[in-house]
Each structure stands twice: as C-alpha cells, then as structure tokens.
Structure 1
Amino acid sequence: MTSAPSSVGFYLYGALLLLVCALKLPALRRRPRDTLLRAACLLLLSAGLLMILAAPHSIAALNRHSGIPNVAAPVVYVVTTVFSGASLVLIINWRPAPAGQTRRLTRLCLALYGAASLAVVLLFLAGDAPVEQRTLFDVHYARTPCIREMIVLYLCAQGAAMAAASVMCWRWSAKVRGSLRAGLTILSVAYLLIVCFVVLRLCAVAARWTGHDLDFLVDEVSVLLSAPSAVLGALGFALPLAGPRVAETARAVRQFRQLGPLWRALGDVPTPGAVRVPLPWWRNPPAVLLTGRKTALYDAILALTPHCDPQVREAAHEAALRAGRSDGEAARVAEAAMLLVARERRHASPPRPPDAPGRDAGQALDLFALSRAVTSPLVHRIRDQYTPLQKAANHE
C-alpha cells in the first residue's frame, strides 16, 4: 500500500476522471439546470478526488503537512460519502421515473449524504486519534469513542448507497436492451463489489469489538476489490455512451463492405455531371465513407440510365424465375444484369438518348440487394449474352 507504483496508479486514474469532468464543464455551463449532468459532474469530481486523496503517498502527505495525525482519514471518508451519494443521485436521475419522484429522491439523497459528510467531520473532531495509521485506521480505532462512530457511519453510508444503486441498476437492466442493458449490468456488479468491500471492513471492525483480529480483511482482502470495482464502474458508465456509436460504426463498416461487389462493378463508370471527392479512409469516419460510396453508386447508375435496356431486364427476370428464384430475387437479378450490360454499352459508345425507354432514374434502388445480386452467375451469363451483340452492332 505504500509503494510508489500503487500511488501512481491512483493518480493516473484520478487524473483521468478529473479530465473527463473538466471536459463536461462547458456543457454544464450551457445547461446549469440539467440535474443529470450535474450529478455526473459531481460523481466524476468526487471519484477523481477520492482516487487522488486515497493514494498512499497522499495520505502520508496530508498527515505530515497538516500536522494532525490521521487527518487524511476524515478527508477520504467525506469524499467517499460524497461519491456514494453522487452515485445514487446519478442513477436516480438517469433511470426513467416521474419527475416529481426523481426530485424528491434527489433532495433526500443530497440531504442525507450531506448530513453524513458533516457528521464524519464533527465525529473526528470530537474523537482522539493520536497514532498515525495509514492502512489500518478502521480497525485500529474501532473501539475509540466518536472515531468508532465515524468509521461505522461512513461505511454504512457507502454500503447503503452502493447496495441501492446495484439493485436499481439490476432492475432497470431487465427493462432495456443493447448497450444500456450491458452497462447497467456491469454497474450493478461494480456496486456489488463495493458492497462486499464495505462488508469486509465492517466484519474486521466488529471483530475488534469482540476482541478478535481480522485485520487482514482490511489490508489484504478488501483492497483487492478496489481496482475491479473502479474498472467495472468506468466501463459500466462508458458502455451506454459509447455502445451506440460503436454499433453505428460497425454497421457502417459492414454495409460499406457489402457494397464492395457493386462498387467493383460500377466504380469506374464516368459520371460527368457529378463531382467525386476523394475520401481517404484514414481521415473520414466509416459513416462518411459509406455515404460517399452510396452517392457515387447512385451517380454511376444515373449515368448508365441512357444505356439501360428494358428487354435485358425482362429476359434476365424470366431467366431468374426459370432458375427457381423468387419474384423479389428475380427482380434484383434483372436490375443487376441490366446495369452490367448498360455498363458495357456505356464503355463501347458515347452517351446518347436511348431508342427505347430505359429505367426510371428516380426509381428507388436497394444498393445492398443489387450488390448481392451482382455476384450471381446468372447475372454474368446475361451480361455475356447481350454484350457481344452490342459490340457487333457497334462494329457495323
């Protein structure tokens, strides 16, 4: 507990939380009455301060520079109590509930945990803790008047808030789906780990009351729960925020790849009336790349419209039906075959008005269905069947 690496870990995680809190301050200035945002900022601030103040080197520095033995204990316990209350307030304001009920519960939590924080300070001032204890303060002063009550108060306040938050997250997770459900489930586990942390410390304190020694629960067992609960807590809050964005990005990447066959078939079609702007993948998000590819494909299809032959579409449609395709699949195969033949005709001759009416340029197209149909061997057979005829006609 007194090694430098452990303190460095506390400081890094605390600094990260404070940085996230600072990034939210502009939004808080714009929406000062947003209770959920205020609760989130309070949670981030208290969590960041808790990690920094609870670092072994910080505890030693607080005790040394203040000149008061164990002054770090009430400081850390007050911040812990504030963090517990902020966690409960955030969950209360986050979950769907009537506005009146949310306001009442928020005010009750703020009043209770504000009073508990003040009581921690007053009990420390009323008690006597002359011997510095950096890691075993709870058990060393478990039978000291006032200090004993301070220890039990902060542990019970923390345990009650974490237990309530865990139950609320678990119940809420049963009513939602997706990343929100996953995040709430993880948060429920994270809060439950903190409850276990509190229970272990209370057991060690109660053991001192009965003359037994279970100090190892404080400095060897309960500390093992700190890192997992912190990591799971951060993941639980981040997942509902990042989950939809990650899912959207994954969907855009998947759809971008699905358009690959159609892009390889039509990507080289000249589109004189449209401007194609290069979109390097390393400088643009997948959603932008997907939009750019879809726009380019629509432009290419529009450029092929003068060369589209309804007779090719009808022949391909009949061939697909004879091959056992459904009417919808046959329509997609027919559309794809007509476009591939039109591409060959576009390459063989300059644009000109068609002798027969082509496809409707305003007709809605399912690019993804077309992209799947382009890979069909039947489409390529139709293309090979009609392309030589057009080439021969051009030579005449």
Structure 2
Amino acid sequence: MSIRITGLRGENRIGDGHNHKGRKVTSAPSSIGFYLYGALLLLVCALKIPALVRRPRDTLLRAACLLLLSAGLLMILAAPHSIAGLNRHSGIANVSAPVVYVMTTIFSGASLLLIINWRPAPAEQTRRLTRLCLVLYGAASLAIVLLFWAGDAPVEQRTLFDVHYAGTPCIREMIVLYLGAQGAAMTAASVMCWRWSAKVRGSLRAGLTILAVAYLLIVCFVVMRLCAVAARWTGHDLDFLVDEVSVLLSAPAAVLGALGFALPLAGPRLAETVRAIRQLRQLGPLWRALKDVPTPGAVRVPLSWWRNPPAVLLTGRKTALYDAILALTPHCDPEVRDAAHAAALRAGCGDADAARAAEAAMILVARERQRASPLRPPDATGREVRHAQAQDLITLSRAVTSPLVHHIRDPYMPLQKAANHE
C-alpha cells in the first residue's frame, strides 16, 4: 500500500488557481475513498482482536494486526479533510506532516515485520530481525517528531511539503528520514517476497509475486519524491514528480498489496471450490443415470446448491452414487462385465479403458435389471460389493456416456427393455 501523503492537490492559499511555479492546481480528491478504505481496514483489524486475545504470543497475528491498524489509521489521517482539520484545529501549521509521516513509518515497519514473521526461517533469526525492526522503526518515528519540533515550517503546505521545505534545517532531515525508512522497508520486503516466491508454488507464490511488485511500486514512489527533494537542493524544479507523477502509483500499489495478502488466504479455498464444481460437472452423467436407483436403508437428504458450498454438494453427490452402486450390487453380473470387457478390447480400447467400459456396462445393465425385477436375486449374496465401492466415479461417469458402452450393454438388457429399444 502506498499512501499519498503531502501530494494532495488543491492548495487553497493560491488565489489564482496556480502554485508558486505557475502550474495549474486541480481540486483536491475526495476524502470519502480514504475514509471508507481506512474504516474497512480497521474493521478487519477489530475482527482479529478476539483471536489476538486468545493467542497473545502469536507474533504473526500481532504483526498482521499492527499492519491493519497502521494502514487504517494512515488512510484516515492522509485524507485531504483530515490534513486540513489537523492543521486548523491544532493551531500548528503543517502538524499533519509529522503525524502522517509517523504513521507511514509505522506502516512500513509493520509491512516488513509481517513478512519477517510470515516467511519460514529459524526461530532465533526471526526473533532477532523482529527486535531490530521494532527498534529501528520505533526510533525513526520518534526522530520524525523531534525533528519537526526542532525545525521551522510556518507556511501551510498540503501538497508540496516535501519539496517546499527540502532545504529547511531539521525539516529537511525529517523528510529524508521518513522517505528513507519507507524505501528501505519496502525494498527489503520486496526482496524477501521475491526470494520466498521462488521456493513455493500455487496461490502463495502468486501472492508473494504480487506483493513484491506492490512493494517495488512504493519504492518507485519514494525514489521520485527523493529526486524532487534533491533537485531543490541543486536549484532545479522537479516538483511535478511529487504532485503529478508519484501519486499515480498510490492506487495500483494499494490494490496489488491487498490482493497479494488476500490471495494466499483465499487461493486454496477458491481452488477447492473450482475443483469441486469441476468434479460435480464430471459426475453429472453418472448421477443422471443412477439418481433414481432406490437405495433401501440409505438416507438421502436433498442439498440445495444455494445453501451449501460446492465441496459439501460434492461429498453428498459421491455418497449418493456409492449408495446407488451398492444397491445395484446384487444385480451386477460378472459375466456381463467379462463379455463387455472382451468386446471393448475387440473394439480397440486399451486395457484400462476396456475395464472401465465393462464396469459401466455392467452397472447400467444392473440398473435395468433392478427396474425389471426389484427383488434381490437369490444368488447375489455379497456379489461385487467391494469392487463396486472402489469405483473411480469420475472415470466411470465418463464411460457411461460412451457410445461403445451403450452398444456393448444392449445384448444383456432385460427382455422388456430390449423390446422397448426395438
């Protein structure tokens, strides 16, 4: 996430609508987006508090809560109305600058802290880096406040504070400190994400790659502002990098940052849902063939798709299919399977395909024989129960739709059914 801090447009102190360099100043962006996004982050942080109370020593959870809290507060404090309100109600010109810079520094440290505790590493190394991060970014936050009070920034600057006071003693050091701290944290976090992503796969790798790109965008944001500040030191004007160019990176970095953290959490669940939906579709032919098979003793509870996730529907569908196959077991005839297997081999099928086609033909014939004679055959005790339960339902479902299976099964259909076919 990259927050546009003093790059907010709309200096109301310029009466003719231009800044001190003659560039046209546009109206300030709305604060609503800042407040909504900030409130959402704080809400997510609040939802994690019960878990934090239960696991107070969970360093990863603490780092996540710190990141959410600092990001939410930063969005609220960086809103244009908040900046104007802080300056006006405090009676101190530009007091919003150190407030937002401190929150930016805390957010940067929290981002690095989360990556340190998230990635797999020796426990002692993680503790050492965690302590170092807390000390460095805590000290940087304190130094920002002290440098602001030691310096002099009497003229309110809501958009170009960094470059306007680039040469002011103490204020200059404060600006370089907050930008340097942010840039260092984002560079380190990006490098750590790149290295970690090379060792993992799936949604975690995708999330880490996206995070690395998001952090690089923030590094570019910092570099542009540092270039504009350095240009002021040498008597040049690159102010457009602050209020026109760098701010364009804020939204993409924020979106990519949120996506990068969300993808590893939502990715496995999304992949499971997609896999369940695909298997439900693949089981469709077998389900349509066996859904009306009576299953005495089995309890069938209808599952509505709008109330149950696909994984639950898939489990229910598989259970119902196994029950149907088990109910057909007394009517399964090994002779039908053997004859169908031989016919499939003669038709040019491989051994595995022929075996699956033979199983499908036997089950379809058993279904018709059960319909024709619902009573249990006298010689069917224990017939094929284990074999029927071990079926690969998806490949069996695929075989059910094969024209070859329908051709093979026809000679073994009950007489009444065969007559109907004719």
**TM-score relative to the length of structure 2:** 0.90
> Is 1:370 paired with 2:396?
yes
Distance 1:341 1:252, change over 3 A: same
Q: 1:102 aligns with which of 109, 126, 131?
A: 126
Shift of the alpha carbon at 1:392? 8.2
Distance in structure 1 (CA, Å) of the matches to 2:73 and 2:60: 20
Aligned to 1:204: 228
Find the partner of 1:243 among 254, 263, 267: 267
Hey, what does 2:237 align to over in structure 1? 213
Please name the residue that 1:62 is paired with. 86
Distance of 2:135 and 2:163 partners within structure 1 = 29
Instruction: Give the corresponding residue for 2:13.
Output: none
Give the match for residue 320 of structure 2: 296
Q: Is the 8 A contact 1:345 1:390 kept in 2?
A: no
Matches within 5 A, 1:41-190: 41-190=65-214
- 2:411 is matched with 385
**What letter is aligned with 2:92?**
I
| Alpha carbons of structure 1 residues 290 and 4: separation in structure 2 relative to 1, 3 Å | farther
1:296-315 → structure 2 map (5 Å cutoff): 296-315=320-339
Letter in 2 for 1:374: V
C-alpha separation in 1, matches of 2:84 and 2:261: 31
What amino acid maps onto 1:375 in structure 2? Answer: T
SS at match of 1:37: helix
**TM-superposition CA deviations, 1:291-332 (whole Å, max 9, x none):** 010011011111111111111111111111111212221111
Q: Secondary structure at the match of 1:90?
A: helix
Letter in structure 1 aligned against 2:285:
P
Q: Deviation at 1:174?
A: 1.1
Measured against aligned partners, the alpha-carbon deviations of 1:116-141 in whole angstroms (never above 9, x if no partner) come to 00000111111111111111111111
Distance 2:73 2:113 in 1: 18
Other structure's SS at 2:48 match: helix
Change (3 A) 1:359 1:152: same
Q: CA deviation at 1:180?
A: 0.8
CA distance in 1, matches of 2:417, 2:385: 25
- What is the match of residue 14 of structure 2? none
Shift of 1:391: 5.5
Tell me, yes or no, if structure 1 residue 334 matches structure 2 residue 358: yes
In structure 2, the residue corresponding to 1:6 is in which secondary structure? Answer: coil
- Structure 2 residue 359 is matched with structure 1 residue 347: no
Q: Is the 8 A contact 2:372 2:414 kept in 1?
A: no
> What secondary structure, in the 3-state scheme, does the structure 2 residue paired with 1:254 have?
helix
- Report % sequence identity: 87
The normalised TM-score by structure 1 is 0.96
- 1:222-261 alignment runs, 5 A limit: 222-261=246-285
Report the Cα distance in structure 2 between the residues aligned to 1:93 and 1:38, rounded to whole angstroms.
10
Change (3 A) 1:358 1:337: farther
State the distance in 2 between where 1:6 and 1:239 align.
29
SS in structure 1 opposite 2:87? Answer: helix
For 2:287, which of 252, 258, 263 is the aligned residue?
263
Contact kept, 8 Å, 2:329 with 2:385, in 1: the verdict is yes
- 8 Å Cα contact 1:207-1:214 kept in structure 2: yes
Contact kept, 8 Å, 1:263 with 1:297, in 2: the verdict is yes
Cα separation, 2, equivalents of 1:188 and 1:56: 28
Secondary structure (helix, strand or coil) at the match of 2:93 reads: coil
| 1:319 corresponding residue in structure 2 | 343
Distance 2:302 2:53 in 1: 39
For the aligned residue pairs, the C-alpha RMSD in angstroms reads 1.5
Equivalents in 1 of 2:306, 2:219: separation in Å? 45
> 3-state DSSP class of the match of 1:212?
coil
Q: Distance in 2 between matches of 1:362 and 1:273?
A: 18
- Partner of 1:285 in structure 2? 309
Change (3 A) 1:320 1:91: same
Deviation at 1:362, TM superposition (A): 2.5
Moved more, 106-115 or 302-311: 302-311
Counterpart contact for 2:332–2:384, Cα < 8 Å:
no
**What is the one-letter code of the residue matched to 1:107?**
R
Residues 144 and 178, structure 2, Cα contact 8 Å, conserved in 1: yes
Q: Whole-Å Cα distance in 1 between the matches of residues 272 and 74 of structure 2?
A: 35
Aligned residues: 393
Aligned CA distance change for structure 1 residues 14 and 163 (closer, same or farther; 3 Å): same
Shift of 1:112: 0.2
8 Å CA contact 1:306–1:351 kept in 2: the answer is: no
Residues 307 and 351, structure 1, Cα contact 8 Å, conserved in 2: no
| 1:39 alignment partner in structure 2 | 63
Tell me, yes or no, if the aligned pair for 1:128 and 1:147 is still in contact at 8 Å: yes
CA drift of 1:388 comes to: 3.9
